[in-house]
Chains A and B, each alone.
Chain A
Amino acid sequence: MDKNVNFEKSLAQLEETVSLLESGDELTLEESLKAFEDGIRFARLCRQKLDDAELRIQQLTEDGEEPFDGLRDENPDQV
C-alpha cells in the first residue's frame, strides 16, 4: 500500500471497511474475507503511521525553508 496515503484517509478507509463488513448481508464470503483483509491492513497502516511519525518543523527564512532547530534564545523580550 502506498506509503504516502495520508493518515486521515487510511482511518476513514478502516472505518468504511468495518461498516461494510458489518452491514454484511450483501457480501459474499470472498468479499467478506477481502474486506477483513483490507481492514486489518488499514488498521496496521494507521497505527504504523502514528508510531513512525516524528514532528517535522521547518521555518521560513529569506533563504527559503530550513529546519527549525527549536533552540530557545535567552532574549527575554521575545515572548
Chain B
Amino acid sequence: MMELFKEILPQHPYTVAEVVQYIKDILTFEPALSDIWVKGEISDLSRPYSGHLYFKIKEENSTINCVIFKNRAINLESMPQNGDEVLIHGKIDIYPKNSTYQLIGDQLKPAGIGMMQLELERLKAKLEAEGLFDQEYKKTIPSFPKKIGVVTSATGAAIQDIIRVLSERYPIVEVLLFPTLVQGNEAPNQIVTAIQVANQRSDLDLLIVGRGGGSIEELWSFNDELVARAIFSSQIPIISAVGHETDITLADFVADYRAATPSSAAEHAVPDQHNLKRKIHDQELRLLQDIRQIVKFLRTELQVFEYQIPAERQLNRINLFRQHIEQIQLINQNAIQQQIHQLKDIVNLYQQKQMLFVKDLKQTKETKLQVNTAKLNQLSPLETLERGYSIVSDAENKPIANASSVDIGDTVYIKLSQGELTSQIISKKEVEDG
C-alpha cells in the first residue's frame, strides 16, 4: 500500500503557476494561434472605464473571450455592436488569474468586407459601362500649372510628400490644400465637397486627390461612387494618388491621370526645374552662337566698309556700329566680351581715321578756297596790270580797244600798275576787217 502511494504521490508536484505558465507557453508558442483571423458574432460587449474593449465572439455553441486593449480600441474605424458579424485578428493568450484563454485582438473588421469587394466590382462595372473610365474624357494635365489644389488630410503623410516634391521640382507653383478626412464614413462627402469647391474657383489648373498608404478599408473612401462621380465631373484635371503602387481604387480609374503614390503625383504634376534650367542654358548657348555670327559679320562689314561707303557717310556708319556693339555688350560671356573689345578697337581706329579724314577734308577745302580766290583775282584788271599790261583810255576815260578809234596826234592816257602816263599818238596800225 505504501509502495503504491509512493508511486502515485509525486516527489516534486508542480505549482499552479507552473502549470498555467506551461499551458500559456504551449498556446503562445503555437504560430497558428499567435497570428489568427477569427470570424464570428459579437456578444457581451463591454467597455469599462479603462477603455479596453471586452466581448465574446461566438458561433452557435462556441465562444471565445476577446479583449481589444485601449491603444488599439481607439483606432477602430467604428465601434462594434453586439450582434455584428466581424473578423477579428489577434493572438490567443492565457489570463493567468482565472486560467481562461482569450483572444487579444488588434484589428476588427466587419465580416461584410467580402461583400464590399463584391459591391465594388459591381460598381466598377456600372461606372465603366457609363463611360466614366473612357480615355476620351481624360483631360490633359497642364505642363506648367500655376496653382495646384490638393484634396487630402492636412495631417497625413501625403501632403508632406507632395510639398517636398513640389518644392524640389518646381517651387514656382502655388499649392492650395483642401483639408479633408481621408478615411471613415465622413471622408467621401468631404472629398466630394472639396472637389466641388475647388471647381467653383478659377485659380486652380490642377487637382491632386488622394492619401498615403493604408489598409484596404482605410482606402475605401476612394472607392465611393460619389467620389468617383465628383472626379469625373471636375472641370479641373485631376491626378489621383491613393496609397501605394498596388492599391487601385475607383478614383484611380476615373482620374485623368493615376499616380501610384502622392510623391509620384507631385512629380507628374510639375516639370523639374533642373531640366528647365538645362533647357534655358541650351537656349542661351544658341543665342550666343547666333550673336557670334553677328559679331563676325559686323567685323567683316567694318573691314570692308571704307571701300564701299563714301567717306562723308562713314561717320554715321561708325556710330551705328557703336550702337550695335553696346547692344551686344548686354551679355557677360567672356568669349563674346573679347570679341566685343576687339570690335570696339576697330571702331575706335576707324573713328580716329575718320576724324583725320574730316580734318583733311577741311584743309583741302581751305586750299581750294585760296585757289579759287586767286582765280577770281585773276579776273580783276588791276591784277592784269600787275603782270605788266596797261590800260589805254581817251580823254573821256574810255578804254581804247581799237586803233581805229584814235587819230595821229591824239592824246591818250596809259594806266599802269603804278602811276599814269599821258602820251601822243605818233603812228598807228589798224587791223583790217575781215
Q: Would you give the shortest CB distance from B364 to chain A, in whole angstroms?
A: 33
The interface stretch among B9-17, B35-43, B285-293, B400-408 is: B285-293
A interface bracket (residues with beta carbon within 8 Å of B): 35 or more
* Residues of A with C-beta under 8 A to B214: 79
The reply to whether A61 and B179 contact each other, CB–CB distance below 8 Å, is yes
B155 at the interface (CB under 8 A from A): yes
B167 at the interface (CB under 8 A from A): yes
Residue of B with least CB distance to A20 = B290
The reply to whether A39 and B283 contact each other, CB–CB distance below 8 Å, is yes
B183 at the interface (CB under 8 A from A): yes
The reply to whether A40 and B331 contact each other, CB–CB distance below 8 Å, is yes
Q: Would you give the shortest CB distance from B195 to chain A, in whole angstroms?
A: 12
Residue of B with least CB distance to A6 = B146
If A8-B143, A33-B324, A36-B287 touch, does A75 touch B176 (CB 8 Å cutoff)? no
Q: Which of B187-232 contact A (CB under 8 A)?
A: 197, 211-214, 218
B386 at the interface (CB under 8 A from A): no
Q: Which of B280-323 contact A (CB under 8 A)?
A: 280, 283-284, 286-287, 290-291, 294, 297-298
The reply to whether B273 and A50 contact each other, CB–CB distance below 8 Å, is yes
Q: Would you give the shortest CB distance from A56 to chain B, in whole angstroms?
A: 5
* Residues of B with C-beta under 8 A to A1: none
The reply to whether A59 and B179 contact each other, CB–CB distance below 8 Å, is yes
B328 at the interface (CB under 8 A from A): yes
The reply to whether B297 and A29 contact each other, CB–CB distance below 8 Å, is yes
User: Once bound together, how far apart are the Cα atoms of A37 and B181, in whole Å?
Assistant: 52
* A interface footprint on B224-256 (CB within 8 Å = 1, 0 otherwise): 000000000000000000000000000000000
* Residues of B with C-beta under 8 A to A47: 277, 280
Most central of B155, B157, B166 by chain A CB within 10 Å = B155
The reply to whether A76 and B75 contact each other, CB–CB distance below 8 Å, is yes
* Residues of A with C-beta under 8 A to B273: 50
The reply to whether A33 and B328 contact each other, CB–CB distance below 8 Å, is yes
* Residues of A with C-beta under 8 A to B175: 55-58, 68
User: Once bound together, how far apart are the Cα atoms of A22 and B290, in whole Å?
Assistant: 7
B425 at the interface (CB under 8 A from A): no
Q: Would you give the shortest CB distance from B337 to chain A, in whole angstroms?
A: 13
The reply to whether B213 and A8 contact each other, CB–CB distance below 8 Å, is no
A22-B290, A55-B175, A79-B183 known, 8 other contacts, Cβ within 8 Å? A6-B144, A11-B276, A33-B328, A36-B328, A43-B280, A65-B176, A77-B75, A79-B213
Q: Which residues of A contact B (CB under 8 A)?
A: 6-8, 11, 14-15, 17-18, 21-22, 24, 29-30, 32-34, 36-37, 39-40, 43, 46-47, 49-50, 53-61, 65, 68, 70, 72-73, 75-79
